[in-house]
Amino acid sequence: MIGILGGTFDPVHNGHVQIALDVHHALGLQETRLIPCGIPPHREMPVASAAQRLAMLELVVNDHIELSVDQRELEREGPSWMVDTLASLRNELSELSLCLILGVDAFNHLDSWHEWQTLISLAHIVIADRPDCTLVQSGTVATFLNQHLTDNKQDLLKQVAGYIYRCPVTQVDVSSTQVRETIRSGDDVNKLIPGNVWAYIQKQAIYR
């Protein structure tokens, strides 16, 4: 099984890393790919350039052999729709299970994603379940959850896509917005991002 964690990673922070590692080890994944978004469809363009965000991710994966960086969204023109990314991965990895890792907030608003109901035909969805977050209880996304939910992680090996699984992860209270604001204010970010990423940000003078 291959894990997929997408995001703008502007910048990558300890929460991203912890979720990727927790899910990777809980599910016994072969590899977990961090996929930086090229052109985010639902938010403003990142502050850091594509090259800078990629460089920061490469610093992270150099310290964690479980993780790798996949550049396909940076290399593709147009909005970075996850459905297109998964379709591309499915063409390359036809016989492997793909596990799209989503935070609870992202999953709760899944119906705002482009062709969102197609995602489950291309990959399993793994919800990074934190004790401070509540999954949606009603509406189309809740129905979608109930249709595909399994509490047996072995089901993810039985077929290459189609299940939703809730995976408990360590709670790390940090966001990229918080990191950028902390850097701008001149406060300490050492507990929020990896040390080598902070060194790179300082060298590049990003987010000031």
**pLDDT tens-digit series, residues 6-58:** 999 999 999 999 999 999 999 999 999 999 999 998 778 999 999 999 999 99
**pLDDT of amino acid 43:** 79
Answer for the pair 101, 31: CB distance below 8 angstroms, yes or no.
no
Torsion of CA 63, 86, 129, 114, to 10 degrees: 130
The C-alpha atoms of residue 99 and residue 86 are separated, in whole angstroms, by: 10
Nearest to 188 by CA among 203, 172, 202: 202
pTM of this structure: 0.96
Q: What rounded mean pLDDT belongs to the chain?
A: 96
Answer for the pair 68, 39: CB distance below 8 angstroms, yes or no.
no
pLDDT confidence bin for 97, thresholds 50/70/90: very high
Rounded mean pLDDT, 82-110: 96
Q: Hey, what CATH class is 2-171 in?
A: alpha beta
Domain residue spans of the chain? 2-171
Answer for the pair 56, 11: CB distance below 8 angstroms, yes or no.
yes
The C-alpha atoms of residue 80 and residue 86 are separated, in whole angstroms, by: 11
The C-alpha atoms of residue 179 and residue 58 are separated, in whole angstroms, by: 19
Rounded mean pLDDT, 68-79: 96
168, pLDDT greater than 90? yes
The C-alpha atoms of residue 148 and residue 125 are separated, in whole angstroms, by: 9
The C-alpha atoms of residue 67 and residue 122 are separated, in whole angstroms, by: 21
User: Mind listing the pLDDT tens digit for each residue in 121-167?
Assistant: 999 999 999 878 899 999 999 999 999 999 999 999 999 999 999 99
